[in-house]
Amino acid sequence: MLICQAVKIIGVVGGIGSGKDAALKYLREKYGVPYLSTGDIVRKMAGEQGVEGTRENLEAISRRCFQDMGKGCFVRMAGEEILRQGWKVAGISGVRTPDDVELLRKNFGKDFILVRVDIKDPLVRFDRVRKRNEERDPLTYKAFQSQDREEETFNISKAVAMADCAVDNSGPLSDLHAGIEAMVASGCLPVS
């Protein structure tokens, strides 16, 4: 990826079911900010390989890609696609590791902002995961807790701690939107 100061990147980090995509969907709908999801990149790979999109299969694909292409490969792919598209500002959902954050900061410098989406109560995240009802999602709270622990193999807590700003998503969607608007108003989030 080339260093490109003409592009502003909004990376979003958070736990499973925290609302990373919901935050970026709002920016897309309200401000026309396009975004890419690292999870979508992995799911596309699974589809191309004829592999069922379970979390276990997606994690196996991720591990192979990290071995073959290096750490940060998915955010690198997303950044390269953003540059190809010529977008002036764009989001990346699913920043997961400190390597992801460091790669984006190295390549985009001050034009990269990392937003943490918070939900303090894991039961709220589990309820939202259950409502989205995707193949990769756990059916029980115990399985959800196990996935949360597995996410830590990527050092997600360290990536979360590297965030430049945070928005709470514990309440209704309108609260998330208000929090995003506050970050836009403060200049924390570039939307143009």
Write the pLDDT tens digit of every residue in 100-109.
Answer: 999 999 999 9
DSSP tag of 133? -
Q: Report yes or no on 103 lying in a domain.
A: yes
pTM: 0.88
Q: Report yes or no on 77 lying in a domain.
A: yes
Which residue range forms the structural domain that includes residue 23? 8-186
DSSP assignment of 5-57 equals TT-EEEEEE-STTS-HHHHHHHHHHHH---EEEHHHHHHHHHHHTT----HHH
pLDDT at position 151, please?
Answer: 82
Reported as half-sphere exposure (CB side, CA atoms, 13 A), residue 26 has a value of 19
Q: How confident is the model at residue 152 (pLDDT cuts 50, 70, 90)?
A: confident
Q: Report yes or no on 192 lying in a domain.
A: no
CB-based contact 104:9 (threshold 8 Å): yes
Q: Report yes or no on 120 lying in a domain.
A: yes
Q: Report yes or no on 3 lying in a domain.
A: no
Q: Report yes or no on 1 lying in a domain.
A: no
Q: Residue 1 pLDDT more than 70?
A: no
pLDDT at position 2, please?
Answer: 47
* CA–CA gap between residue 26 and residue 19 (Å, rounded): 11
Q: How confident is the model at residue 192 (pLDDT cuts 50, 70, 90)?
A: confident
8 φ/ψ angles, rounded to the nearest 5 degrees: -105, 130
* CA–CA gap between residue 191 and residue 182 (Å, rounded): 12
CATH number at residue 163: 3.40.50.300
Domain count, the chain: 1
Q: Report yes or no on 182 lying in a domain.
A: yes
Q: Report yes or no on 2 lying in a domain.
A: no
pLDDT at position 58, please?
Answer: 86
**For the residues 35-55, what does the mean pLDDT come to?**
90
Of 31, 32, 48, residue with least CA distance to 40: 48
